[in-house]
Amino acid sequence: MLDLMRKNAGSWIIKGLLGIIVVVFVFWGVGSWRAQRGSRVALVNGEAIADHEYQEAYNSLVEQVRAQFGKSLDENMLKSLDLKKKALDRLIEKKIIIKEAEKLKFRVTDDELSQTIVNMKAFQTDGVFNKKVYERVLSQNRTTPEVFEASVKESKLIERIMSFVTGGVMISEQEAHEWFKWKGASVNVDYAGFSPDRYADINPTDEEMKSFFDRNKEAYKTEEKIKISYLTFEPGTYTSKATIEEKDIKDFYETNADKFKRPKTVEARHILLKVEEGESPEKIEEKRIMAAGILKMIKDGQPFEELAKKHSDCPSKSQGGYLG
């Protein structure tokens, strides 16, 4: 599968599929390393996603969003952001990526794992790895070194295969726009299915058909059509023949003064959420969730200016996002 994706890296569909692959935060993987018997929420290539894995992933995502919105986050906003589906999608993507990594025999060595953990600032004191701090932080997160290290190795494996798949891929602005429109499109459809063969033996009379038509004339109406006759008038044909007096020009202006008025101007405000070039898909997804949350608060009646001052990355935030 990955070989196919690399060969077709120029396809906007393939690039779009690559865009949904995310690097899962290392603590998210903890649940899969302490699986217990119990209910499952999904089955991916024969491998179950346990209910407790899903709950951990969902809770982690909620905490990320809560850190962004604080007290503004309520149950209605949580529901509108559809975090439950996003958490499950991330777990499914993670299972698929790891399975592909195993097929391609990708691996993370013990030295690489050790170096990664040693360089994590959360476990350092004055820039140096501190084992006691390491153990304390893990304990506070209710996990063990063995479980955490396995999770880090898993995350490194995902990073490695993502780098392998996406290396050299260039996405044009048009392709990104097409993916954005496709990703955000939705359709609501109501339908009733029937087979014409079931009604082949029905033979309505002329009177019945006329009666049905009279009762349902609106359903058989077509769009209005208009027949017109017209003469073509080309001003250029008459410019060399016409003589316009100054008085005529003044009279025309006074009669049509409204046509010469300056158009109305529009003042605008905006809220800018910056995404740096080369930003990880996970960070981009966080910004998208944040934007959806801000839009929800605006629709709920919260002042645009206050939200701009709090969330915008543009210098105009100090003026409530005012652009002029």
Residue pLDDT, tens place only, 133-142: 999 998 998 8
Residue 46 has pLDDT above 90, yes or no: no
Residue 282 has pLDDT above 90, yes or no: no
Report the pLDDT value the prediction gives residue 124, as an integer from 0 to 100. 92
Collapse the DSSP code of 128 into the 3-class scheme (helix H, G, I; strand E, B; otherwise coil) and give the result. strand
Predicted TM-score (pTM) of the model is 0.40
Residue 130 has pLDDT above 90, yes or no: yes
Instruction: Say which residues have a Cβ less than 8 Å from residue 298's Cβ, sequence separation at least 6.
Output: 304, 307
Return residue ranges of the chain for CATH 3.10.50.40: 228-324
Q: Per CATH, which fold does 228-324 belong to? A: Chitinase A; domain 3 (3.10.50)
Return residue ranges of the chain for CATH 1.10.4030.10: 2-173
Residue pLDDT, tens place only, 116-125: 999 999 999 9
Residue pLDDT, tens place only, 16-26: 434 433 333 33
Residue pLDDT, tens place only, 198-227: 888 888 899 988 999 999 988 888 888 888
Instruction: Say which residues have a Cβ less than 8 Å from residue 127's Cβ, sequence separation at least 6.
Output: none
Residue 251 has pLDDT above 80, yes or no: yes
Report the pLDDT value the prediction gives residue 38, as an integer from 0 to 100. 52
Q: Are 53 and 151 in contact (CB under 8 A)?
A: no
Please report, for residues 99, 168, 222, 280, the alpha-carbon distance to residue 163 in angstroms, rounded to integers and kept in the order given: 16, 9, 56, 11
Instruction: Say which residues have a Cβ less than 8 Å from residue 11's Cβ, sequence separation at least 6.
Output: none
The model's confidence at residue 10, banded by pLDDT at 50, 70 and 90, is very low
Residue 240 has pLDDT above 80, yes or no: no
Pick the CATH number of 2-173 from 1.10.10.10, 3.50.50.60, 1.10.4030.10, 1.10.3720.10: 1.10.4030.10
